[in-house]
């Protein structure tokens, strides 16, 4: 493999998550003597297009790669050809959200268009319903590591930390917004929410098709274009469930004797929680890179899955690589990991979470052993060295398959 084109998005997207992930991959490419070209998407669109076309004309590429890319894979040349197809460059869109959040991005004029996703359910869903995607691959994100020596848990300042922001709307406000949808989107979205509230093991795609079939919609005979008209409502239902559960868990912990360190915007400003709950310490939002300092000083790293039901999240690997104990809600994928490398809580039993955390912290020896086992597992399976190797295997398989 010789060269890869990568897309660098603005810093304000996900606290510069994608910029940091690009850098982590680039470090691994350098070690493997693989060259790369970075397309800076912080520039004006016309300049971006010109730089992409000039780069494709100048050098040969084994792949183009970006996180949550929107539209670039549809780039056309003056003769109307798709630019990446014209130069024989497969395009890989690494989607780190549910497919329904990016359904428009799953339709492409690029014939050599591929998607990487971080949830196995998403992989199967894309294969079934998005014919423009040539191949789909499951590959979780690696964790953010640290080059510093980690300290034992009993010397760390934070009993438990969470790095996650909140929407500007409360769940109640979000629900009122959904009630303003036109019919039938309003009723179908509310039914989706009720379905997922009743069964918190369902992801948004599963709930969508369950509700549609129960309401008499013949999904099997719908065209792709007809289905697209209904995909818009799924985003609203997903966001509601994602932030409702986050709100529910943080509020329960903030009302408890647990000393929670909360890093993220929105909590204090929009919920007034600082005035109500004095045991929770509110910190400003941190970038993806800055989470390293938080995890290195945490005994427990709390993870709340963004409603993924068969995948993982980079907070899990990052917490483990900083030798912190990870506490997360489970799903089919996570429950298949070794049982002694992290702690699991049940979304149906959020009320029990404060007591669970108190018990975990009370057994310092077991806590340290769990953190150490998680660290060893993550070094082998969740580092960016490992993930980049898997990524290059996917690219090579597509290129030569």
d(CA 87, CA 81) in angstroms, rounded, equals: 10
- Report pLDDT for 229: 75
- Report pLDDT for 142: 95
Residue 148: inside a domain, yes or no? no
Q: How many beta carbons lie within 10 A of that of residue 127, not counting itself? A: 13
Q: What CATH number has the domain bearing residue 319?
A: 3.40.50.2000
- Which among 353, 393, 381 is positioned nearest to 140, based on CA atoms? 381
Any idea which residue has 């369950």 for tokens?
A: 210
- pLDDT tens per residue, the chain (401 residues)? 899 999 988 766 677 888 899 999 999 999 999 999 999 988 898 999 999 999 999 999 999 999 998 889 999 999 999 999 999 999 999 999 888 788 778 888 899 999 999 999 999 889 888 889 999 999 999 999 998 999 999 999 999 999 998 877 888 888 999 999 999 999 999 999 999 999 999 999 899 989 999 999 988 788 777 777 787 788 889 999 999 999 999 989 988 999 999 999 888 776 666 566 678 898 999 999 999 999 999 999 999 999 999 999 999 999 999 999 999 999 999 999 998 999 999 999 999 999 999 999 999 999 999 999 999 999 999 999 999 999 999 999 999 87
Please indicate, yes or no, whether residues 208 and 341 belong to a single structural domain of this protein: yes
Tell me phi and psi for residue 11, to 5 degrees. Answer: -65, -25
d(CA 286, CA 293) in angstroms, rounded, equals: 10
Please indicate, yes or no, whether residues 314 and 349 belong to a single structural domain of this protein: yes
- Report pLDDT for 277: 65
Please indicate, yes or no, whether residues 74 and 10 belong to a single structural domain of this protein: yes
Report the sign of the C-alpha dihedral through residues 253, 196, 288, 168, in that order. negative
- Which among 275, 282, 292 is positioned nearest to 250, based on CA atoms? 282
Please indicate, yes or no, whether residues 188 and 103 belong to a single structural domain of this protein: no
In this structure, what DSSP letter does residue 71 have? S
Sheet containing strand 281-283, strands side by side: 281-283, 260-263, 158-163, 298-303, 325-329, 343-345
Residue 303: how many CA atoms within 13 Å on its side-chain side?
Answer: 29
Please indicate, yes or no, whether residues 58 and 159 belong to a single structural domain of this protein: no
117: which strand partners? 95, 138
d(CA 388, CA 400) in angstroms, rounded, equals: 18
Please say whether the beta carbons of 353 and 345 come within 8 A.
yes
Domain count, the chain: 2
302: which strand partners? 327
d(CA 59, CA 244) in angstroms, rounded, equals: 48
Please indicate, yes or no, whether residues 163 and 299 belong to a single structural domain of this protein: yes
Please indicate, yes or no, whether residues 183 and 106 belong to a single structural domain of this protein: no
Which range marks the domain in which residue 357 is found? 153-381
Residue 146: inside a domain, yes or no? no
- Report pLDDT for 12: 67
Sheet containing strand 63-67, strands side by side: 35-40, 3-8, 63-67, 91-95, 113-117, 135-138
Structure token pair of residue 171 = 């769940």
- Which among 156, 163, 149 is positioned nearest to 364, based on CA atoms? 156
- Report pLDDT for 105: 81
Residue 67: how many CA atoms within 13 Å on its side-chain side?
Answer: 23
Report the sign of the C-alpha dihedral through residues 101, 103, 104, 105, in that order. positive
- H/E run at residue 327: strand 325-329
Please say whether the beta carbons of 158 and 298 come within 8 A.
yes
- Report pLDDT for 397: 95
Residue 39: inside a domain, yes or no? yes
In this structure, what DSSP letter does residue 337 have? S
pTM for this structure?
0.93
Q: Coil, helix or strand for 35?
A: strand
Please indicate, yes or no, whether residues 77 and 88 belong to a single structural domain of this protein: yes
Please indicate, yes or no, whether residues 375 and 388 belong to a single structural domain of this protein: no
Please say whether the beta carbons of 324 and 299 come within 8 A.
yes
Please indicate, yes or no, whether residues 240 and 377 belong to a single structural domain of this protein: yes
Please say whether the beta carbons of 328 and 345 come within 8 A.
yes
Residue 348: inside a domain, yes or no? yes
Please indicate, yes or no, whether residues 108 and 75 belong to a single structural domain of this protein: yes
Residue 241: inside a domain, yes or no? yes
- H/E run at residue 41: none
Residue 147: inside a domain, yes or no? no
């Amino acid at each position: 493999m010789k060269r890869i084109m990568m897309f660098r998005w603005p810093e304000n997207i996900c606290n510069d998550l994608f910029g940091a992930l690009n850098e982590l991959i680039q470090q691994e490419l350098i070690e493997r003597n693989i060259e790369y070209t970075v397309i800076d998407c912080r520039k004006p669109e016309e300049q971006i297009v010109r730089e992409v076309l000039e780069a494709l004309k100048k050098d040969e590429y084994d792949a183009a790669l970006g996180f949550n890319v929107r539209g670039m894979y549809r780039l056309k040349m003056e003769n109307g050809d798709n630019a990446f197809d014209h130069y024989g460059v497969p395009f890989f869109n690494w989607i780190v959200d549910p497919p329904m959040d990016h359904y428009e991005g799953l339709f492409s004029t690029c014939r050599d268009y591929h998607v990487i996703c971080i949830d196995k359910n998403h992989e199967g869903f894309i294969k079934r319903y998005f014919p423009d995607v040539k191949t789909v691959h499951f590959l979780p994100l690696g964790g953010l590591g640290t080059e510093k020596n980690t300290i034992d848990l009993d010397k760390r300042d934070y009993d438990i930390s969470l790095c996650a922001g909140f929407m500007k709307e409360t769940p109640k406000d979000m629900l009122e917004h959904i009630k303003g949808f036109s019919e039938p989107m309003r009723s179908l979205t509310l039914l989706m929410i009720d379905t997922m509230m009743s069964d918190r093991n369902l992801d948004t795609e599963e709930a969508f098709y369950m509700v549609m079939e129960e309401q008499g919609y013949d999904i099997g005979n719908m065209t792709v274009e007809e289905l697209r008209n209904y995909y818009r409502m799924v985003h609203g239902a997903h966001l509601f469930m994602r932030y409702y559960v986050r709100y529910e868990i943080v509020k329960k912990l903030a009302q408890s004797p647990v000393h929670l360190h909360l890093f993220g915007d929105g909590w204090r400003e929009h919920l007034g929680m600082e005035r109500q709950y004095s045991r929770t310490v509110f910190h400003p939002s941190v970038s993806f890179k800055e989470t390293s300092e938080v995890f290195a000083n945490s005994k427990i790293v709390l993870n709340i899955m963004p409603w993924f039901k068969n995948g993982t999240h980079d907070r899990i690997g990052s917490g483990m690589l900083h030798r912190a104990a990870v506490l997360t809600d489970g799903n089919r994928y996570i429950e298949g990991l070794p049982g002694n490398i992290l702690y699991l809580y049940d979304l149906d039993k959020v009320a029990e979470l404060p007591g669970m955390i108190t018990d975990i912290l009370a057994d310092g020896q077991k806590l340290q052993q769990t953190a150490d086992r998680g660290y060893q597992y993550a070094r082998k399976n969740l580092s960016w060295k490992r993930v980049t190797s898997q990524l290059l295997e996917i690219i090579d398989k597509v290129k030569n398959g």
